[in-house]
Amino acid sequence: MQFLIRSARVVDTASSWNGQVVDILVENGLIRQIGEKLPVNADNVVIESDNLHVSLGWVDMRVLAQDPGYEHKEDLTSVCKAAAAGGFTDIAVLPNTQPVIDDKGTLGYIRRMAEGQPVNVHVIAAITKKTAGEDFTEMLDLHHAGAVAFSDGTHPLQNPDLLLKTLQYLQPINGLLMNRPEEQLLTRFGQMHEGIQSTLLGLKGMPALAEELIVERDLRLLDYVVSEEQGAGGAGQGITQSALHFSTISTARSVELIRQAKAQGLPISCDVAAHQLVFDDSALSGFDTNLKVNPPFRSTADVSALWAGLADGTIDAIVSDHSPQDAESKNLEFDQAEFGIIGLETVFAALITHNQNLSLSQLIDKLTTRPRQVLRLPNISIAEGQSACLTLFDPTGTWHYERTFSKSKNSPFLGHSFTGRVVGTIHHGQFKPTK
């Protein structure tokens, strides 16, 4: 099938067409022609919209699919529909399922279930069996079976020896370790960010220090591994891709630690959840359990630092941290409710609506090129002959978020209006409009 994208502005810094308004002809999954006022024939499906923009397909590096084991909260079909509606063509799913993605059988199940879905599903396999933080999985086998990275997902690695040995083990295969930094002994029974707001609300706080200690620890361990491997040549020499990735950082000090480490040449990367860029801890004054997330919403100064980290390149990617929870897990007293928020459908709109001086090109880079590089996905660009993996959007379009494709409804954004509308995706030779 042929699709003719009419008068779309290209947002892809790697493309020679970047910033230009052009027509794009897609045929059999490939970009066949790019130019102005391309002719329309009877076989073309014409795609046009006000203020239409086109970029590479968006990539979400952190999605909790809940399948297998918790399909009443989400399954692979519903999560893929939600991802496509949010403009994503690729998602990376966490290993925190039941059973855990800690062997080739469960990984194979995910890959089989992902066949024919509107998005590519990439698997992040567990570092430890059952993500219990004790015994290693067969990471080499999982790597050869298709795992794009290794993480215990929602369970931060607490044991420094496990993290150290994982970094050493993954280095020969150019593997990626992903860790959500949290010292859980400091956050035990915590409900929100520790600060003035937690005191006023009478809720147990989760100090920023709990995150920052683990960031600093992990950076020291990575420096040790790299220095050991490279000898006196200097940290990071010869390593061209990130070996350690920090998931969902949330504090100003974490941003600064990572900024300094990058300047020293350590092979690291990091991401931030879109909702962390929208809310601060004052949003919890109404005790809305849909706003109960981990890491928790921090101070306004932390939010500003996160935006600054995106602008200067310290933060590589923006993720949804999509974590579906059923009503029984959220319709409780605040201290009893589960952590988590769904966000696949609202990432782009939330970023545009609440943008703090980030250019559109910078924002799209955090959803396309950088996450592809971190996950070692194939490099693509908007050019003739390239695979047509595209997201179409209108950064000035408005819409109302009134229903979700997710099985769960734990979003504080339902019922809200946004600026920044996804028009649809072109992927696997098909156009999937947002409905």
Q: What is the pLDDT of residues 296-337, one digit of tens each?
A: 999 999 999 999 999 999 999 999 999 999 999 999 999 999
The active-site residue, picked from 281, 321, 365, 394, is 321
Q: Strand pairing of 268-273 and 317-319?
A: parallel
For residues 104 and 332, what is the distance between their CA atoms, to the nearest angstrom? 37
For residues 409 and 74, what is the distance between their CA atoms, to the nearest angstrom? 10
Alpha-carbon torsion 137, 143, 145, 146, what sign?
A: positive
The encoded tokens of residue 319 equal 């993720």
Q: Is 171 helix (H, G, I), strand (E, B) or coil?
A: helix
Helices (H), 42-189: 76-85, 104-113, 139-144, 160-170, 184-187
Q: Is 374 helix (H, G, I), strand (E, B) or coil?
A: helix
Q: Using one digit for the tens of pLDDT, what is the confidence trace for 43-67?
A: 889 999 999 999 999 999 999 999 9
Helix 208-230, helix 252-263: angle, nearest 10: 10
Q: 431 φ, ψ to 5°? A: -100, 125
Give all domains of the chain, ordered by start, each with its CATH number. 2-52+388-401+416-433 (2.30.40.10), 57-374 (3.20.20.140)
Residue 39 makes CB contacts below 8 A (sequence gap 6+) with none
Is 321 noted as a catalytic residue in this protein? yes
Helices (H), 145-193: 160-170, 184-187
Q: Mean pLDDT by 10-residue block, N- to C-terminus, for the chain (435 residues)?
A: 95 96 96 94 89 98 97 98 98 98 97 96 98 97 98 98 96 96 97 98 98 98 90 54 96 98 97 98 97 98 98 98 97 97 98 95 98 96 97 98 97 97 96 91
